Amino acid sequence: MNTAVDRWKLTVVPDARAMSEAAADIVAETVAAKPDAVISVPTGSTPLGMFDVLAQRVSRGAVDLSRIQLFCLDEYVGVSPDDPNSLTGWLQDALIDRVGIPSGHVHALPATADDLSAATEAYEHALAALGGLDLALLGLGPNGHIAYNEPGSPVDSRTRVVDLTPESIAQAAAYWEGEVSIPHTAVTIGVGTLLEAKRIVLLVSGDAKAEMLRRVLADPMSADVPASWLRTAGARLHVIADEDAASRLGSTRK
């Protein structure tokens, strides 16, 4: 089922597997049209099915991701890609190595830079030099964050250091290995940067995200729910949700 509200598009699919297939289709379409497309993908459990589908398609020659430019969305401050708790390192194992994206095409956030302000500005310049994001694939955080743009993030925010909320820190604990302190800060691509993408796809799965998705799509846009800013992208925004995640949308789905 497809619904256009305020020009953005909502697709509700039966389950997480169908969501993953639909998202992989969009990646394939993007790369077919532009083999060196500039793309971002989320971390966490939501995109894992899509990663599996893409790996399968690459293995049988149905899609080629070797020329894309991949920009990472977020990383913990002070954590390098070779750290076992790195989001970039996780993405390396979950997607990059499996689909053959060359290391020179992977743009990790400068989370260990001495001058984070200058380094994040340089990251923005590197993205702009490639024409910005052709496709921004995003997940929805339990508190409404996208990338690590936490509640309070303004619509025009850029790549920067952010303080993580207690909720995000607790969520990160499920992925954090070893007896080390859970980071309280991260570097993230900003909302304003994401909103400049030529195409934005928000992936949402599971009943646990249902109320937040309702707030994202039905309540007034607000910095309290950063993902709600995505609606300003209009027709460039495509939300793909499974039935459980869409269960509280009500008239928004009609």
Pairing of strands 8-13, 160-163: unpaired
pLDDT of residue 3: 44
Q: What is the dihedral of CA 26, 102, 73, 20, to 10 degrees?
A: 30
Mean pLDDT of the residues in the chain: 94
**Catalytic residue from among 74, 75, 242, 244:** 74
Record the pTM: 0.94
Predicted confidence (pLDDT) per residue in 213-252, tens digit: 999 999 999 999 999 999 999 999 999 999 999 999 986 6
pLDDT at 74 over 70: yes
**Catalytic residue from among 150, 238, 242, 244:** 150
Decide if 105 is catalytic. no
pLDDT of residue 4: 42
In percent, how much of the chain has pLDDT > 70?
94
DSSP designation for 133: -
Domain ranges of the chain: 2-248
CB 245 within 8 A of CB 205: yes
pLDDT of residue 170: 84
pLDDT of residue 171: 80
- C-alpha neighbours within 13 Å on the C-beta side of residue 150: 14
DSSP designation for 83: S
Predicted confidence (pLDDT) per residue in 1-36, tens digit: 444 445 899 999 999 999 999 999 999 999 999 999
DSSP designation for 214: H
Decide if 143 is catalytic. yes
pLDDT of residue 151: 97
Decide if 184 is catalytic. no
Matching CATH number, 2-248, of 3.30.70.270, 3.40.50.11540, 1.10.3720.10, 3.40.50.1360: 3.40.50.1360
SS3 29: helix
Which pair of tokens denotes residue 86? Answer: 């790195």
**Catalytic residue from among 75, 145, 149, 244:** 145
pLDDT of residue 6: 52
pLDDT at 211 over 50: yes
